[in-house]
Structure 1
Amino acid sequence: MILLCWSLLSLCLSTSAEFTTVRQKSGENVTLECSFTKCQRSNNKTTDMYLYHNLEEKKEVLYYYTDHESEKITPRKGYSGRVGKKGSLENNTVTIRNLTVDDSGLYTCVYDEVTCNVYILVVSDLLHEESPERENNLGLLLIIFAICSISIIAIMFFILLIVPRVKQWISRRKARNDPQGSNDYVYEVMTKNGLRPVAAPEQLSPSRNGYD
């Protein structure tokens, strides 16, 4: 469970991928789209893809490799015979058949260590009620996702609005504590506004004979 929390927080901070929630019933199939070309952080080329499942522990569902001459698709233990794919490496769909409640959790499509697609799959069993622990895990997963989204919005708001105001306040305070800096600050403000400071009157030096 701790691993799941850390995984969600890491995804929120390190990826721009969108979260998609999918609800299915036990015994049904689910199709997940894995797209490298739609990934905002993608490069021009890729050679492999992993599909991960994470709820109480992280495990691989599928490994897909290609060198543009041949390809290799390897379903992992527990998914052999239940997983199929359609499409190319850069754009494909992975279908998981005969779902059980144990298939619930977080699914991520990872290309060359870049997370491009994220799904939250919730599988309900009509014949048997889900255990309270599993319901709590899924509920906590959704709560963490909501907190992450709110946190990201708050951080963006802080960076865009608060930080410039703080910098401006620090500059003004520094200018007040430094007379020379204050004069330079006033001169800079007046210059930006198209004004020019009035020159100080020249002091008249006494004549050589001591007369004005």
Structure 2
Amino acid sequence: MSAFCLCCAIFLCLLCSTLAGKGNNGLLVRKQKGDTMTIHCSTTLQDQNNLSVFMRLTKNILVFYYYQETGKITIHERFQLRLTTNGGLNKMDITITNLTIEDSGAYWCLYGVSKKPKTEGEGAVLLVVNDDQNGASSGLGIPRYLVLVSAVTAGSVLLLSLVILFIWVIPRLKAWRSTMRPTQVRTSDVYEDMRTTIRRAHHP
């Protein structure tokens, strides 16, 4: 049970840190349903030959891929009729039109060279798409998406604290208590020996 709780806590922490990290490195963009959003991907590395744009909310989605040598472009089916590009590989604008609530999430650009690790380029965006009927924020003035992320973060911290309590603190407390018991037993034995000696001394 403790191992299961630990795995859940680690998963939640990784999810929240990923979303927060992408948002901190880039730009928080708030849009209404049906609006347009542009991702400005760029890199200073001159030897790159491909560009990937990923999106993440609950899992990674490859939104866009461009291979410079052949000019091949691959677009995820969710964005095929809504995505356009402008510019070259090292400085490319990717525009997504007719945004939906499901488009909310972290977007980032990865540049690469064949058979080498990819490097993150500039242009990361944390997109929040709001429904027109519900307005741009919740009753407290905080976007619903950020409320969800905050709630998940708080829950994961609480769960992780409980796991640490049960796995680390309680066993140490039990071990400390077990080390105290032999001392109490030995003390009781000494008093019992003294009583026996006194009774024998006064025995007629």
TM-score normalised by the chain length of structure 2: 0.55
Which amino acid is 1:99 matched to? L
- Looking at structure 1, the residues matched to 84 and 22 of structure 2 have their Cα atoms a distance apart, in angstroms, of 26
| CA deviations over 1:9-31 (Å, ceiling 9, x no partner) | 7769xxxx941111111011111
Please say if 1:127 is aligned against 2:138. Answer: no
Shift of 1:121: 0.6
| Unaligned runs of at least 5 residues, structure 2 | 1-10, 113-117, 153-204
Letter in 1 for 2:42: S
Distance in 1, matches of 2:29 and 2:83, equals 17
Q: Match for residue 107 of structure 2? A: 107
Q: What do residues 155-200 of structure 1 show as CA deviations (whole Å, max 9, x unaligned)?
A: xxxxxxxxxxxxxxxxxxxxxxxxxxxxxxxxxxxxxxxxxxxxxx
Q: TM-score, normalised by structure 1?
A: 0.53
Equivalent residues in 2 for 1:71-150, closer than 5 Å: 71-112=71-112, 113-116=118-121, 117-128=123-134, 137-139=145-147, 141=149
* Paired letter, 2:60: K
Deviation at 1:5, TM superposition (A): 2.2
Query: Quick check: 1:58 aligned with 2:60?
Result: yes
Percent of aligned pairs sharing the same letter: 30
Which residue identity lines up with residue 35 of structure 2 in the other structure? Answer: E
Is this contact kept in 1: 2:39–2:124, CA < 8 A?
A: no
Query: What is the aligned length?
Result: 131
**Unmatched runs of 5 consecutive residues or more in structure 1:** 38-42, 145-212
Q: Tell me: CA distance 1:19–1:123, structure 2 relative to 1, closer, same or farther (3 Å).
A: same
